[in-house]
Amino acid sequence: MVIDCHMHVRAGADGALDVQYCDWTIEAGDLLGIDRFCVSDLQLTGELRYDDFHAANDRVAAAVARHPDRYHGYCFVNPGDPKALDEIRQRVRDEGFIGIKSYNQYFIDDPVVEPVLRLASEWQVPVLVHAGYLTDGASKARQPLTSNALHLANAARRFPEAMLIEGHIGGGGDWEWALKHLREAPSVYLDTSGSGIDEWMIDRCVEEIGAERLLFATDTTMEGSVGKILDANLSEPDRKRILGGNFQALLDRRAV
Amino acid sequence: MTDYRPLFGSGIIDCNSFIGHWPFRRLRRNTAAELVAMMDQFGIWKSCVASAEAILYRDSHEGNRALYEQTREHADRFWLYATINPMYAGWERDLAQCVDWGFRAVRLYPVFHNYRLDSPEADRIVRAAHEAGLPVAISCRVEDVRQRHWMDRFEDVDPLDVLGLAEAHPDTRFILMESLLGWPHDADEWRRLRDTQVYVEMSRMTALMERPLEIMTWELGDDRVLFGTGFPFKTPSPAFLELQVLDADEDAKARIAGENVRRLMDPEAGKG
């Protein structure tokens, strides 16, 4: 079972789920051998309030309903919104979403996020964090509150039972810097997605943090994300763990 | 590793590879012998290879010289790029020496070498390459700027600037490398690109989701798209997968996989 633990759906021009994009994703999965996609809605910036993330999560629910055997949903919230926990309860507890998606409204170690992490720890559901150590000014200016590995390590120290996932090691940013911090944060997982397909990136991830903490993902980079796993010098058991076994083990810990 | 010859034929040519060191990140498998080993694993017949060091050496030609020396043992597997900095002393003689050594194309890095593509310096090197019978390759980037080193202040090259240069030199063959062309069907940029002699290396494009690689192949023609990996900066399999899942027939894929670049760089191609 190959599970993409970091993928997205998006809105069409009418604000509803873009079903063509959904179907393209399934087609890509069929061509590349990806069985399941864990998706959130692409909304990366701004002071998103309840109506915004609730609508985004409606689109995720619609995608799961359209392809129930291929899609799992993450619940995206702005942790600073007073109704964030209500939204998580509805989506994760009542509707079966598999985890929580954190974007860039707050650093993941900001005290504002603590109630979300507390709930995720209690329910044992993963928290996928949009992350990267961006080293160019323009990217940092666009996303000033993007968490990096140090923020994840800090949050993990406060919530050792939380299943935190650093998103897209290849999503831009200095991934070598990230690995230095993640090796000191043993409870944090790392997803392999992103348009960065540097030679030896996955091998270096395994060398620094071990195959058991790596989770396959695409974040829309389809051929690149599959190709870099194919090229990594992995044992077959480790390849299977990364491609789906590790993430399935996280899903199996669910306690809600 | 997969041998892709059963899918794309025995003439696979990687038009975008390097040997040598890069100052900001360790490159592994970056020698000529290691490149040949990678080529054998994937079934690549030839690689068009450039010196990674030449990009940032003050004297780029020392990179060319090292490239020539280090690839001689495997000369039948490589076609070499001459990295030329038209802002540096003596580049004309360096280019002539590369021609004597049998280099097959010129490679330019206008941002790293601090000149504009609409400058007199760009005009001069393009004319010189054309007179030498060599195509001109221009990379939009070497690494993703989002992971740049603190000493690295270089921006990406705008593909439209390359297009403008190609329009000013309609008889010169260009290779646009490491670009991400996301123009929609019927965009005017495709018409402009068709009217030039620009070939596009595909390693940053995807054939899936919105299918920009398919759109490019349709709009530009499958005779103008070139297979490249970016190795050893980038890992090779993604480029193979892009070509594998591209919605195109077997002949078109064979052209992209090697025939097009062979026509560009091999004077013997098409003879007899």
pLDDT for A40-85, tens place per residue?
Answer: 997 655 678 999 999 999 999 999 999 999 999 999 999 999 999 9
Residue B52: predicted pLDDT: 98
What's the number of domains chain A is made of?
1
Residue B272: predicted pLDDT: 46
Answer whether residue B268 shows pLDDT above 90.
Answer: no
Is the minimum CB–CB distance between B199 and chain A shorter than 8 Å? no
Answer whether residue B218 shows pLDDT above 70.
Answer: yes
Return the CA Rg of chain A: 17
CA B65 distance to own-chain centroid:
19
Cβ contact B208–A198 (<8 Å): no
Tokens of A235: 């044992």
Cβ contact B146–A201 (<8 Å): no
> d(Cα A14, Cα A87) in Å, to the nearest integer?
23
Chain A residues bordering chain B (beta-carbon distance below 8 Å)? 21, 24-25, 27-28, 31-32, 132, 134-136, 138-139, 172-176, 195-201, 220-224, 226-228, 230-231
CA closest to A229 among chain B residues: B237
- Residues ≥6 apart with Cβ < 8 Å to B218: B185
Tokens of B36: 């040949």
Torsion of CA A18, A20, A21, A24, to 10 degrees: 160
Burial B214-244 (b: 16+ CB within 10 A, else e): bbbbebbebebbbbbbbbbbbbbbbbbbbbb
Count how many residues are written for chain B: 272
Chain B residues within 8 A of A138 when measuring between CB atoms: 145
- Residues ≥6 apart with Cβ < 8 Å to A49: A78, A81
How much of chain A, in percent, has pLDDT values that exceed 90?
92
* Predicted confidence band of residue A172 (pLDDT cuts 50, 70, 90): confident
Residue B271: predicted pLDDT: 62
ipTM: 0.96
Answer whether residue B209 shows pLDDT above 60.
Answer: yes
Helix (H, G, I), strand (E, B) or coil at B166: helix
Q: First and final CA of chain A: distance in angstroms?
A: 24
Residue A89: how many other CB atoms lie within 10 Å: 15
User: For B238-256, what is the HEC assignment?
Assistant: HHHHHHHHCCCCHHHHHHH
| Number of helical (H) and strand (E) elements in chain B, helices listed first | 11, 8
Helix ranges (DSSP H) in chain B: 5-8, 32-42, 60-71, 91-101, 120-131, 159-168, 188-194, 212-220, 237-245, 250-254, 260-265
Flag the least confident range among A11-15, A161-165, B52-56.
A11-15
> d(Cα A10, Cα A230) in Å, to the nearest integer?
28
Residue B270: predicted pLDDT: 61
Angle at B5 between CA B1 and CA B8, to 5 degrees: 115
- Structural element, H or E, at residue A29: helix A19-32
Tokens of B6: 């059963």
- Domain of A17 in residue numbering reads as 3-252
Cβ contact A28–B242 (<8 Å): no
Query: How would you class B130 by CB atoms within 10 Å of its CB: exposed for 0-12, middle for 13-18, buried for 19 or more?
Result: middle
> d(Cα A215, Cα B18) in Å, to the nearest integer?
30
Chain B residues within 8 A of A199 when measuring between CB atoms: 27-29, 231-235
What is the crossing angle of helices A19-32 and A50-66, to 10°?
50
Tokens of A80: 């600073």
Residue B62: how many other CB atoms lie within 10 Å: 14
Tokens of A79: 């942790």
CATH number of this structure's domain B9-265, picked from the four choices 3.30.9.10, 3.20.20.140, 3.30.470.20, 3.40.50.920 = 3.20.20.140
Q: What is the mean pLDDT of residues B234-241?
A: 98
Q: How many CB pairs under 8 A join A and B?
A: 93
What order do you get walking across the sheet with B78-83 strand by strand? B13-19, B46-51, B78-83, B105-108, B136-139, B174-177, B198-201, B225-226
CA B73 distance to own-chain centroid:
22
Helix (H, G, I), strand (E, B) or coil at B71: helix
CA atoms B245, A172, A77, A53: torsion sign: negative
Does residue A98 or residue B154 have the better pLDDT?
Answer: A98
Contact A198, A189 (CB under 8 A): no
- The chain-wide mean pLDDT, for chain B, equals 96
Residue A44: predicted pLDDT: 55
Q: Where are the domains of chain B?
A: 9-265
Answer whether residue A148 shows pLDDT above 50.
Answer: yes
Cis check for the bond before B232: say yes or no (omega within 30 of 0).
Answer: yes
- The chain-wide mean pLDDT, for chain A, equals 96
Residue A143: predicted pLDDT: 87
- Structural element, H or E, at residue A246: helix A246-252
Residue B93: how many other CB atoms lie within 10 Å: 10
Is the minimum CB–CB distance between B207 and chain A shorter than 8 Å? yes
Which of B26, B208, B231 should we substitute to test contact with A (largest number of A Cβ atoms within 10 Å)?
A: B208
Cβ contact A196–B239 (<8 Å): no
> d(Cα A255, Cα B217) in Å, to the nearest integer?
49
* Predicted confidence band of residue B153 (pLDDT cuts 50, 70, 90): confident
Chain A residues within 8 A of B240 when measuring between CB atoms: 227
Burial B257-269 (b: 16+ CB within 10 A, else e): bbbbbbebbeeee
Answer whether residue B195 shows pLDDT above 50.
Answer: yes
Residue B90: predicted pLDDT: 98
Chain B residues within 8 A of A197 when measuring between CB atoms: 234-235, 238
CA A30 distance to own-chain centroid:
21
Contact B165, B122 (CB under 8 A): yes
Which of A10, A22, A34, A199 should we substitute to test contact with B (largest number of B Cβ atoms within 10 Å)?
A: A199
Is the minimum CB–CB distance between B132 and chain A shorter than 8 Å? no
CATH code of residue A99: 3.20.20.140
Contact A248, A212 (CB under 8 A): no
Q: First and final CA of chain B: distance in angstroms?
A: 35
φ, ψ at B116 (rounded to 5°): -95, 155
> d(Cα A37, Cα A247) in Å, to the nearest integer?
11
